[in-house]
Structure 1
Amino acid sequence: MTRLYKFDEILNDLMDYFILGDPNYLLTYKNENTLPDDLLTELTTEETGDKVVEDGIIVPLSGVENFPYTIYFNLSDTTPELLKDGNKLQVRQDGYCLKVENEEIFLFTMPYLRKFTEEQIENLKKNRKATIKLENGWYSVSILGGLTIQKSELEPTFEFIIKPTIDKPKYTADIAYSFAIRTDE
């Protein structure tokens, strides 16, 4: 069973954000809480944004520069890619929690939140390739960011260290943390 998943050339759609999560679970949350289809405005201007992060519905990455990224989903117990020789760790944030309700997670972008409907989720699933299948349940998530060697060059990279937990892990991450990666090293 593969424990390390790699995706190349992942773009942030010109907004300085990535979002990790189970989009169908976010839609269920939106519907149960009678939130507007414009989740982008709701999550960025109301306390709802902090709540969905602290409740493990999404994991946000703010400050993401506009580069093509290599993305790793690491479910192994081995040394993370960004901590291996030759790679350059620049940012790290531990303490996220994530709940999976539909056996898959996606790394997606802010524009999908503008009109967050079932149709939009189908678009997201067709167009976003950074996705993995996971068993339903709780996970702790750490995010590493920096530069990794890809085809003999250092390229911007994010690595998600994802570990299953029995219960909801304590949320201790800094919601305002900036995941800006510098390429001039």
Structure 2
Amino acid sequence: MNKIFQFNCCLTNGMNYFIAADPYALLEFKNENHLSDNLLEEFTTNESGDNVILEGAMIALEDCQIVPHTIYINLDEKHRVLLETQNDFQFKVGDYPLKIKNGVFCVFAIDYLENFTDETVERLIAIHRSKSYAIADIKNGWYSVEILAGLTQQKFEKSAYHWGEIMDDMEPTFELCLKNVDEAPELTAALNRNYLIEINKEIYKERRLLED
């Protein structure tokens, strides 16, 4: 069984956030708390923005780079991709509680929250599956989530990639490491944490793998 899922060129859709959640569990949180369809407004104007994280219905990766990212969903309790020697590990954040209720976990752009309805959830999942964005089928239950951030070495076609002649083999990366636990874990990560990955093109000039 594959325990590490890799997704390249995941997009923030022009906003500096990624959201990680079981979209159905997040929809259930909205309905149970009688929130409007505009969850982006709800989460930024009242206490529901903290409660949704404390209750394990969502994780917000704030202030990240507005560039394509590689996302790893990692269910392996021992191996960490970002700690491999060819990669540039920058920081680790943990732990977040996460509840999976419908067997699916996604990392998606925050603009989906602006009209978060049943139809939006179905569209989100369909797009993620068809475009190979960050989505994985995992068993229901509670998870403790640790997030690693940095840059990983990837091999892209030059014509399809955005770093041009300097960084076409390194991509900003989030690795979400999920550990299945028996009960709701305590949130130990700081709320409103900055997830900005440093992109220093100069240090990669000598590390390119792609041939000219």
TM-score (norm 1): 0.96
Instruction: Give unmatched runs, 5+ long, in structure 2.
Output: 156-167, 204-212
Describe how 1:44-63 pairs up with structure 2 within 5 A.
Answer: 44-63=44-63
Q: 1:154 aligns with which of 170, 185, 202?
A: 170
Give the aligned partner of residue 173 of structure 1. Answer: 189
Distance 1:47 1:17 in 2: 19
The Cα of 1:154 is off from its aligned counterpart by 1.8
Q: Secondary structure at the match of 1:120?
A: helix
Distance 2:20 2:66 in 1: 17
The Cα of 1:45 is off from its aligned counterpart by 1.4
Q: Does 1:75 align with 2:75?
A: yes
Distance 2:73 2:97 in 1: 15
Q: Secondary structure at the match of 1:64?
A: coil
The Cα of 1:78 is off from its aligned counterpart by 3.1
Give the aligned partner of residue 11 of structure 2. Answer: 11
Q: Does 1:138 align with 2:154?
A: no
Structure holding more strand per residue: 1
Rg larger in structure: 2
The one-letter code sitting in structure 2 at the alignment partner of 1:121 is V
The Cα of 1:114 is off from its aligned counterpart by 0.6
Distance 1:110 1:69 in 2: 14
Distance 1:11 1:57 in 2: 21
Confirm or deny: 8 A CA contact 2:15 2:109 kept in the other structure. yes
Identity of aligned residues (%): 40
The aligned length equals 185
- Deviation per residue, 1:58-90 (Å, 9 max, x gap): 011001111111111111133301111021111
TM-score (norm 2): 0.84
What RMSD, in angstroms, separates the aligned Cα atoms of the two structures? 1.1
Instruction: Give unmatched runs, 5+ long, in structure 1.
Output: none
Distance 1:150 1:114 in 2: 32
